Amino acid sequence: VASASGDSTVKIWDASSGACLRTLTGHSDWVRSVAFSPDSARVASASYDGTVKIWDASSGACLWTIKGHSNAVNSVAFSHDSARVASASTDRTVKIWDASSG
């Protein structure tokens, strides 16, 4: 399980025990949305800082930071095959990104 937070972090939780497994840092403003890829290999996060970050779900390492919106990013989702990420922003756009390279 992953959660978004107002403290600019993403937290990964163990669904069975409720323990926090890791805290992902790197955004500079509220994280509004998080999504696991269907293959569970990556986590995407969307932030008021205008970026989308792609994280390695196992290590917590930030793989890519995507900067393509001119305002806060409110939502993020992976495609069914984990190959693409969609992001929606208050700049009134939805963008599609390559999940393997940003």
Confidence band for 51, pLDDT divided at 50, 70 and 90:
very high
Question: Please, are residues 96 and 85 in contact by the beta-carbon 8 Å criterion?
Answer: yes
Residue-wise burial string across 46-62, b where 16 or more C-beta atoms lie within 10 A, e elsewhere: bbbbbbbbbbebeebeb
- Measured from the Cβ of residue 99, the count of other Cβ atoms closer than 10 Å reads 23
Summarised one tens digit per residue, pLDDT across range 85-101 is 999 999 999 999 998 88
Positions of E strands within 1-102: 2-4, 10-13, 20-24, 31-36, 42-47, 51-56, 62-67, 73-78, 84-89, 94-98
Per-residue confidence (pLDDT) for residue 101, from 0 to 100: 81
Confidence band for 78, pLDDT divided at 50, 70 and 90:
very high
Write down the pTM of the prediction: 0.92
Per-residue confidence (pLDDT) for residue 92, from 0 to 100: 97
Per-residue confidence (pLDDT) for residue 100, from 0 to 100: 83
Summarised one tens digit per residue, pLDDT across range 15-42 is 999 999 999 999 999 999 999 999 999 9
Structural domain containing residue 71: 2-98
pLDDT over threshold 80, residue 102: no
Q: How many domains are there within the chain?
A: 1
CATH number of 67's domain: 2.120.10.30
Query: Nearest Cα to 66, choosing from 90, 39, 84?
Result: 84
- What is the distance of C-alpha 46 from the center of its chain? 5
